[in-house]
Amino acid sequence: MARAGLVAGNWKMHGNLIRNQELLASIVSGTQSLQNVSCAVCVPYPYLAQAQLVLGGTHVEWGGQNVSQHHQGAYTGEISAGMLADFGCRYVIVGHSERRTLYGEGNKVVAEKFCSAQERLLVPILCVGETLAQREANDTEQVIAMQLDAVIDFAGIDAIRQSVIAYEPVWAIGTGKTATPQQAQDVHAFIRNRIASHNDEIAADIQIIYGGSVKADNASELFAMADIDGGLIGGASLVASEFISICFAAQG
C-alpha cells in the first residue's frame, strides 16, 4: 500500500455495555504495536460516550455510523455532526448501502451529510457500491461514478481531500461473498482515476478502503492490491481477534 492504511469497524446495530467494554479493551491492547495503520470503530450512538471513555488517549479512534444533514432543529430522532464531535468522534460513515436501501437516502442527501460532517471537522467515510443486478448489467462503473460525482459536484473536489472513500459492493455485504481482490482493485482504481481527473494529488493521497465480508483470512490478499488502503469491517469487527488480525493485515 502506497498510503497509510485505515481499518474501521462498522458495528451496525450490535453491542451492549458489557460486551463493548471487553471488545474495546481487547482492540486497544491487541493493536498496541500496529504501525502505519489507523484503527477506528464506528459504534451505535448510545455507545459513543463509552467509546470516548475507553478509547480516549489511546491510538484507537471512533466514529458514528450516520449523521443528519442538518445542524439543529426539529428533526426528531436525528443526530447532528456537532453532537458526534462532542463525543470525540473522528469519523462518520455516510451513505452506507443499508442507509441508502432501507432508509431511502439518495445521492443528494448523502452529499449533504458529507458536508455537514466536514463542517464539524469530522472525516466522512463515504460509502459507494453497486448491487448484484447492477454488476450483472455491467453498470458498476456508472453507478459508482454517479455516487461519487454527486458528492464531488456538491462539496467540491477539495472537500474530498478530507475524506475516506469506502467501496462496498452491496452483494458482498454480510453475505460471506467477498469481491475478488482483482474485482475490488478494478473499482478502487476506477474511483482513484475519477478523482484524478479533478486533482492528481488528492487522488494519490486519498484512502480508498474496501468493505464487504472482509475477514481475517481474506484481508491480506485484498489489502495487497495497489489501490486498496484498508477496510470497512462489519461482522468481523465484532470479534476482537478477527478485527485485530485484519488491522495487522493492513500493515502489509
Q: How far is the CB of 173 from ligand PGA (least distance, A)?
A: 4
- Choose, by CB under 6 A, the member of 10, 20, 38, 68 that binds ligand PGA: 10
Residues of this chain, 153-182, that bind ligand PGA according to CB under 6 A: 168, 173-174
Q: Active-site residue among 61, 112, 168, 242?
A: 168
Is residue 211 part of the contact set for ligand PGA (CB under 6 A)? yes
Q: How far is the CB of 199 from ligand PGA (least distance, A)?
A: 27
- Active site annotation includes 71: no
At 28, the amino acid letter reads V
Length of the chain: 252
Helix (H) or strand (E) holding 233: strand 230-233
Is residue 5 part of the contact set for ligand PGA (CB under 6 A)? no
Secondary structure of residue 62 in the 3-state scheme: strand
Question: What residue is closest to ligand PGA based on CB?
Answer: 234
**Residue 131 to residues 22, 40, 93, 167, Cα–Cα distance (Å):** 35, 26, 19, 12
- Active site annotation includes 59: no
Is residue 129 part of the contact set for ligand PGA (CB under 6 A)? no
Q: Which is nearer to ligand PGA, 202 or 219 (CB)?
A: 219
Q: Which is nearer to ligand PGA, 203 or 248 (CB)?
A: 248
Is residue 130 part of the contact set for ligand PGA (CB under 6 A)? no
Alpha helices in 120-172 (DSSP H): 132-136, 140-155, 157-160
Q: Residues 151, 160: contact at Cβ < 8 Å? A: yes
Is residue 214 part of the contact set for ligand PGA (CB under 6 A)? yes
Q: Residues 124, 84: contact at Cβ < 8 Å? A: no
Sequence-distant (6+) residues with CB within 8 A of 141 are 187, 190
Q: Which is nearer to ligand PGA, 227 or 242 (CB)?
A: 242
Stretch that binds ligand PGA, among 83-91, 104-112, 117-125, 233-241 (CB under 6 A): 233-241
DSSP 10-55: E--S---HHHHHHHHHHHHHHTTT--SEEEEEE--GGGHHHHHHHH
Cell matching residue 46? 448510545
Q: Active-site residue among 61, 96, 130, 242?
A: 96
Is residue 233 part of the contact set for ligand PGA (CB under 6 A)? yes
Q: Which is nearer to ligand PGA, 122 or 232 (CB)?
A: 232
Cell matching residue 235? 461482522
Cβ count within 10 A of residue 103: 10
Is residue 232 part of the contact set for ligand PGA (CB under 6 A)? yes
Task: Please give the residue ranges that form the binding site for ligand PGA (CB under 6 A).
Answer: 10, 168, 173-174, 211-214, 232-236
The set of catalytic residues is: 96, 168
